[in-house]
Structure 1
């Protein structure tokens, strides 16, 4: 008999009500604390800035939930942590490096302490990054890699691994034979190349042979691009029963092409959006890799706090790892398919609240 049951004869109903209320409150507080901790999904402890500092960010575009998730993660984590987000800029498209050069220079002129860059191209940024560093700024890389040894730290993902995850989904499919049409994505984007090569390398390891129909890099990453290229590939290669795209918008365009041609085929892609859920559930999309942009944004702020205060940056892979010349952390990726897409916590990992607005965008 425990102490509570032993004391029941001597306790009033009011006492028991108060006790039960306190237990309930304690449980609620514990759940609240756990939810607070969960925003960083256990990767690093959350810190608040000892002294406020200014952070600015420039990303490639805001056409999908990936970059919106990064910006939301940065903005929300900054608000929680005492960091001032002074500017959010958008290059507009892959290849718009001049626009990003101007946006990075603008961050210097408004006195930002940390510049966060999701580059519109892999190469060409080292001189401007070096210039920012010489002015006393710290520069971080987010989402996709950049070819520079002057980056202080990066929060990225292993794009080769993402390609391998997509190939593994095809390998595990019971569908035979396996004939994959490849829509590589835009030219000049390193993440596109890495996913493409990762997919092809892993496909060669499949127990069942995988036939790959290749196409050239180029074009954009919109729905029409995916629709047009998938339609053309399927018309010229009637044996195709899988389509690879490196990014979800292209993937949804490919699904439209499959429907228009009344084909029995499925798509593998990356960067999950809620519009893709029914496509996964009805089998038009075999699998989509989750790219947790919100977590990336939160981690950028947490690492920026540590960098500004001269504290250790835990869990970073050293420079030279993954072919990058700066220390970085690769967020974990998860494959979403029919078995788990209905229960995936989008709001934690990649999709900003519907009512949220991008702050101070230029």
Structure 2
């Protein structure tokens, strides 16, 4: 028993050491900051992001997500939990259950603040719907970090996100390059995500701008929550209504959910799948040849940066106010050369809702 206990302890120590080594290796990270911050027409400048080595005290940080129903938010959750542990701060994560649950997200954040949160990191359900809440939190001198989705309030303290306009545009440019003006027209079913979410509208605009003037014809956007059942039903209905669809493009959940449908209907090579952001399922789909391509926005790093920004603000240290990882497209040509841990959480990662 002593020998077994010793072995178990050694394994735990080595696992912890490995985790610390991996955490230390995430930076410096190629990123882009926006100047002036929060400006719609701000200019992107390349930066090398380096976080703090450690927090000066165990600050209490609340993190609010729309949901944890898909691997994308699991990846962001991995980032915030790992960075909180690396910096030595407390982190509590709440999730509202879906993009229809704005009131629940507001209530959860209010409870977080009432429970003593010293900073709040928000993955917003609505671009405009949290503005009054942000104003109330800022009156208490509590920093608010906007992560991933975008919040329109000018009162947020910092943004750790990429431009979903750029993400959508990158996906659209990929198709436009394959089907330039003058080539045979191809029809695209387009599934940008839940209506009203800031990231969805931005991606929709970028995608449509990129394919304009090419041989790519995009059907009317089909909006819906990023649950797999919702997205699968949308794709099924669209393929039924438009059997001439050549591409199904949209959220990562759309691409993941549609893989089985394409195979079941014998549409391999006739309907290709494209996502405008990366998840483990999309990454694996590209490697296996079931999904064509997706831009990578390194969601894990966005989560890490948000926690670092919160700590820097609490400690009165310099911080980059508006920043996100650099975007690049992953497809069959480069998928085997992209280190998975740079852009995704580890395989089989389980969500961590509290770091103490």
Q: Structure 1 length normalisation: TM-score?
A: 0.79
Match of 1:191 among 187, 199, 223: 199
Count of matched residue positions in the alignment of Structure 1 and Structure 2: 313
CA contact (8 A) 2:29 2:325 kept: no
Aligned equivalents of 2:347 and 2:281: distance in 1? 15
CA distance change for structure 1 residues 282 and 306 in 2, over 3 Å: closer, same or farther?
A: closer
CA distance change for structure 1 residues 282 and 178 in 2, over 3 Å: closer, same or farther?
A: farther
RMSD of aligned alpha carbons? 2.4
Per the alignment, residue 24 of structure 2 pairs with 36
Cα shift at 1:237: 2.2
Cα shift at 1:343: 3.4
Aligned equivalents of 1:82 and 1:115: distance in 2? 16
Per the alignment, residue 12 of structure 1 pairs with none
After superposition, give the CA deviation of every residue in 1:110-169 in whole Å (9 maximum; x if it has no partner): 211101111111122122111112222111111110121211001011011111111122
Q: Structure 2 length normalisation: TM-score?
A: 0.80
CA contact (8 A) 1:168 1:202 kept: yes
CA contact (8 A) 1:65 1:350 kept: no
Structure 1 residue 104 and structure 2 residue 109: aligned? yes
After superposition, give the CA deviation of every residue in 1:195-218 in whole Å (9 maximum; x if it has no partner): 111111100143xx211222443x
Aligned equivalents of 1:303 and 1:347: distance in 2? 22
Match of 1:303 among 296, 300, 309: 309
Matched residue of 2:152: which SS? coil
Match of 2:128 among 102, 123, 127: 123
Structure 1 residue 254 and structure 2 residue 258: aligned? yes
CA contact (8 A) 1:96 1:120 kept: yes
Matched residue of 1:241: which SS? strand
Per the alignment, residue 231 of structure 2 pairs with 226
Cα shift at 1:51: 3.1
Cα shift at 1:282: 5.0
Aligned equivalents of 2:238 and 2:340: distance in 1? 32
Per the alignment, residue 354 of structure 2 pairs with 360
Match of 2:190 among 155, 170, 182: 182
Q: Which runs of 5+ in 2 are unaligned?
A: 1-19, 31-47
Match of 1:72 among 62, 74, 78: 78
Aligned equivalents of 2:253 and 2:23: distance in 1? 31
After superposition, give the CA deviation of every residue in 1:317-346 in whole Å (9 maximum; x if it has no partner): xxxxxxxxxxx2132222111112233222
Aligned equivalents of 2:184 and 2:336: distance in 1? 27
CA distance change for structure 1 residues 331 and 277 in 2, over 3 Å: closer, same or farther?
A: closer
Cα shift at 1:90: 0.4
CA contact (8 A) 1:227 1:255 kept: no
CA distance change for structure 1 residues 68 and 279 in 2, over 3 Å: closer, same or farther?
A: closer
Mean Cα deviation higher: 274-283 or 195-204? 274-283
CA contact (8 A) 1:231 1:258 kept: no
CA contact (8 A) 2:171 2:274 kept: yes
